Structure 1
Amino acid sequence: MHLICPKQPEHELQSSSVSLFSFRVDHLYTFFVQWSPESIYSKHTSKQDFLKVHPETLNVIDTLLNNSAPKNWKIVTVKQQKRRPSVCSSADSESEDLQPVLVDRSQILKEQHLEQLMNHIPARTQGYPWKLAYSTAEHGTSLRTLYRQMAEIDRPVLMVIKDSDNQVFGAFSSDPFKVSSYCYGTGETFLYSFSPEFQIFRWSGENSYFVRGFLDSLQMGGGGGPFGLWLDADLYRGSSYSCDTFCNRPLSLHHDFTIRDLEIWTFI
């Protein structure tokens, strides 16, 4: 990765400006080296693999690096800074495993589920509290109600299902669920299962049949055959088969399953 300063017109670039920008680049270079020492950085520009930095960002970094008491701050990752103990954890627990904050109580998710899922959701959703957007226990068993609950959401969602065999599985969708005449979503979308051990099934690249919502069903994954995950209008019955989109195995113990509880979480 190469670091470059914001480019200015030549007639404005005086010798003092050159010195200032050189000084700022040195500071920015130091900042990234401290942040990720295992990476290789260069202060020399190239035609590719460079990072453009806004002047305001340089000012912030200058302030940090010129701090007379540098021990008062440190560079941390999003995971280190924002992850907090789960509300599922005991207040007296001193476990080193940090979990996301659940704003609402879950009927399905346990500590082991959160530990695994937290490590696989996209970075842009990590560090945020999880809010329950829909649950069959609270809102009833209706796909139409599920869609209504998603209407005001503009961020990714996590679906969690517990079936009649007490198996837990579901999907992460880059987009909230909705009725659509076409498939939607991105390669961030994935299926997962804890049945019987945790497995995650990411986008295979074969097609883009991530999600499609109908009034009478919700479909995830496909490609010339059954769906990776399919739910009926009453959110009572579902099915899971191997599909080209995710190259997954069936998420439940049986291809066809009965839903006991279903929850959809979003990240706020």
Structure 2
Amino acid sequence: MGVAYSVGEVDHLYTFFVEWTPDIYNKGQKKRCKSCYLKKKNDPSTLKEKDLTAASKHLSKPASKKKTAKNWEIITVKESKRRLSLCSSVESEVDENEYEEGDEEFPVLSDQSQLLNEFQLQKLAAHMPARTQGYPWNLVYSTAIHGSSLKTLYRNMAGLDSPVLLVIKDIHKKVFGAFSSDPFKVSKYCYGTGETFLFSFNPDFQHYTWSGENSYFVSGNWDSLQIGGGGGGFALWLDADLYHGASFSCPTFHNAPLSTDEDFIVQDVEVWTVQN
């Protein structure tokens, strides 16, 4: 069934198509003067917004018997800009989500860790400072390779100028440790920055950042290595043989004890560095 149009509607549609597609509708016709197309503002035959709406409704109806008919509509310039802006916003959001997913890449290790699984590695990598992101982790010290000696641990870090990750496993199979902004060394004074933090897996991940209460981040001598302090006990303490250890709550990190017992026996130790 066809669609019936009034004479006024046909005239309006024809005027609209002539104005917007003169290269099609002016073929074979004499060139008309501009006055034929320019209407006065108060002229009732001028194509107004309501006429555009009516034309859009008629033209958007597909012909019932023509399978090849195309569905299209007439929209204003303002609506066109709005739709383009919406598309750009959606594309930008998709790109941003892809970028965020790309940021969660699995860290690259120079050697396989004997103490950390994939879940634990990803948790730790997500909490490390931005300056360490995207760089490989290199194994600096391991009791399984280098033996149990704090002196060897210090010696392996001589000349190193990058943050380190200390990982400890006690005899109860609990994994915990600390990220230090500076490599471990013998020093009369405490060193490090607020990037230093503590962690434990019990089995849920616990993360303790700097409280700002004091700056007792790391200190070391030939007899022991200490991390955190100021309240009568260290957040983490290891002896010269890397066999006995201790962990207490302290003001530096406001942490809970990291090990199962405040005094613990070390099973294994690994120290990783993230060099940029």
TM-score (norm 2): 0.63
| 1:218 aligned partner | 225
- For the residue of structure 2 that corresponds to 1:117, the secondary structure is helix
Contact 1:79 1:126 in 2 (8 A): no
Tell me the residue number matched to 2:37.
Answer: none
Which residue identity is paired with 1:235?
A: L
Within 5 Å, give how 1:79-118 maps onto structure 2: 98-118=105-125
Distance 2:171 2:147 in 1: 17
TM-score, normalising length: structure 1:
0.65
Q: Does 1:199 align with 2:206?
A: yes
What is the CA–CA distance in structure 1 between the aligned matches of 2:225 and 2:241, rounded to whole Å? Answer: 11
Match of 1:190 among 180, 189, 197: 197
- The higher radius of gyration belongs to 2
SS class of match (1:144):
helix
Q: Distance in 2 between matches of 1:241 and 1:79?
A: 36
Q: 1:210 to 1:166 in 2, by over 3 A?
A: same
> Contact 1:78–1:126 (CA<8 Å) still a contact in 2?
no
Q: Which amino acid aligns with 1:136?
A: T
Aligned counterparts of 2:257 and 2:203: Cα–Cα separation in 1: 11
Distance 1:78 1:121, change over 3 A: farther
The total of aligned residue pairs comes to 184
Is residue 246 of structure 2 the alignment partner of residue 248 of structure 1? no
Name the aligned partner's letter for residue 154 of structure 1: D
Partner-residue secondary structure (3-state), 1:170: strand
- SS of alignment partner, residue 127 of structure 2: coil
CA deviation profile, 1:204-227 (whole Å, cap 9, x unmatched): 000000000010000000013110
Shift of 1:112: 1.3
SS of equivalent to 1:119 = helix
- Counterparts of 2:168 and 2:194 in 1: how far apart (Å)? 21
Partner of 1:148: 155
Equivalents in 2 of 1:215, 1:227: separation in Å? 17
Deviation at 1:154, TM superposition (A): 0.3
Report deviation, 1:78.
Answer: 8.9
For residues 151 and 76 of structure 1, what CA distance do their matches in structure 2 show?
Answer: 41
RMSD, matched Cα: 2.2
Correspondence for 1:24: none
Shift of 1:187: 0.2
| Letter of the structure 2 residue corresponding to residue 107 of structure 1 | Q
Unaligned runs of 5+ in 1: 1-33, 39-73, 84-96
* Contact in 2 for aligned 1:162/1:260 (Cα 8 Å): yes
Counterpart of 2:273 in structure 1 is: 266
For residues 104 and 78 of structure 1, what CA distance do their matches in structure 2 show? 28
**2: CA distance, partners of 1:107 / 1:201:** 23
Instruction: Name the CA distance, whole Å, in 2 between partners of 1:79 and 1:124.
Output: 17
Equivalent positions of 1:166-185 (< 5 A) are: 166-185=173-192
| Structure 2 CA distance for partners of 1:75 and 1:224, relative to 1, 3 Å | closer
Within the candidate set 234, 238, 247, 1:231 is matched to 238
**Secondary structure of 2:124's partner?**
helix
* Secondary structure in 2 matching 1:172: strand
Higher helix share: 2
Confirm or deny: 8 A CA contact 1:78 1:127 kept in the other structure. Answer: no
Cα gap change, 1:77 to 1:159, in 2 (>3 Å): farther
Counterpart AA for 2:233: P
Offset at residue 126 of structure 1 (A): 1.1
Tell me, yes or no, if the aligned pair for 1:178 and 1:213 is still in contact at 8 Å.
Answer: yes
What CA deviation, in whole Å up to 9, does each residue of 1:53-99 have, x standing for no partner?
xxxxxxxxxxxxxxxxxxxxx89999766x6xxxxxxxxxxxxx731
